[in-house]
A and B are shown apart, each in its own frame.
Chain A
Amino acid sequence: MNNQLSARTALRETLPTVFGYVGIGIAFGIIGKSSGLKDIEILSMSLITYAGSAQFIMISLLLNRAPLASVILTVFLINSRMILMSMNTSRFFKRESMVKNILIGTFLTDESFALSMNKINYTNDSLSFEWLNTSNLIAYFTWSAASLAGGFFGNFIRDSQKLGLGFALVAMFIGLLYLQMINDHALSIKIQLTVILFVFCLIYLGLVLIPSSILIICVTILGCAFGVAIEHALA
């Protein structure tokens, strides 16, 4: 990564990360096909809903014939972490027009957010519309193309779990977490590790009490509040 914020730089910096979503997008298509979705439904889910891991949950809820309101609420809760990511990202675009803000928000994903948070460590805490919009659109079209390809492969492959494809998403979070830790100079490694350990305990205990659909948002709020508290306690 460097301090350039052009579309061309975004292309170069985003391409290595697309292999993360190609794997997951293909897995999504294969699982969709094996669950009985048509190609047009698989593609539309990726193009219109565009909700990453929540799309896997949509499939399982559709299979359970869950009522419309409960599917929407679950997807909203799982994706409500996007509210925090959008809040975090929006501060870099205050001077841009409303249309550009809406465009950035519409296509923001976990991955482009994580990439942005790594990027600001190299750019003196700034982002540009060209850079993030390019990165977002690469993710969007890659995800849709991969979903459709997965739907096609799904006609032939029976056991995607056996090929380890389901782990692609988790491996990507591990890689993004590590890169974020070593590049974030605002927070010391000691504080970061303390917060991560706290998050582990919250997840373990939270799984007993809290439905998994709202666990991530609850843990995120508590984990960040804990981080702020220990930062103040140590200062």
Chain B
Amino acid sequence: MPSLRYVFTVILGCALATWLSRVVPFIILKKFRLPNLLLEFLNFVPIVIMSSLWFESLFTQRQGQLPLINLGNFLASIPTIAAAIISKSLLVTVLIGVLSLAILNIFFGIN
């Protein structure tokens, strides 16, 4: 691991980058109204971001070739979806998800 000084430079630089992307839209949009088309676009942001972060985790990237399936995450997603539908609870869904992958790892050697 690099020196304490370098790690802290990285921490501060990344903090500035993420802070700006969180705060600048709030400052700019206080003065302006968003057009309707953009509002319609923003309606889709939650489901699109959530599903893309999930789907990305189901594969292992090999740039230039079709991605490999991440079998552990793929299989663990099935009981996790069932838990979400049955319980409608985030906590139960996360616990079942973690438990599913742990069982796949420990008993079947899949990860």
Contact = CB atoms under 8 A, between A and B. Distances in A.
A127 interface: no
Contacts of B100: 164, 167
A104 to B, nearest CB: 7
A178 B81 contact: yes
A3 interface: no
Contact of B1 (A63, A71, A86, A101): A63
Secondary structure type dominating chain B contacts = helix
B15 A49 contact: yes
B21 A82 contact: yes
Contacts, number: 305
B10 A68 contact: yes
B14 A114 contact: no
A58 interface: yes
Contacts of A224: 41-42, 44-45, 48
Given A82-B22, A91-B39, A219-B52, 11 more contacts: A36-B1, A50-B18, A63-B1, A75-B18, A79-B21, A88-B46, A105-B24, A168-B98, A174-B93, A195-B47, A212-B56
Interface of A: 16-17, 19-20, 23, 35-38, 41, 44-45, 48-51, 53-54, 58, 61-63, 65, 68, 71-73, 75-76, 79-91, 93-94, 98, 101-102, 104-106, 108, 110, 113-114, 117, 161-182, 184, 186-187, 192, 195-196, 199-200, 202-204, 207-209, 211-212, 215-216, 219-220, 223-225, 227-228, 231
16 contacts: A20-B91, A41-B4, A41-B8, A48-B11, A50-B18, A51-B14, A71-B13, A87-B25, A94-B29, A102-B26, A172-B94, A175-B89, A176-B90, A195-B44, A224-B48, A227-B43
Interface of B: 1-2, 4, 6-19, 21-27, 29-30, 34, 37, 39-57, 59, 61-67, 72-73, 76-77, 80-81, 83-85, 88-91, 93-106, 111
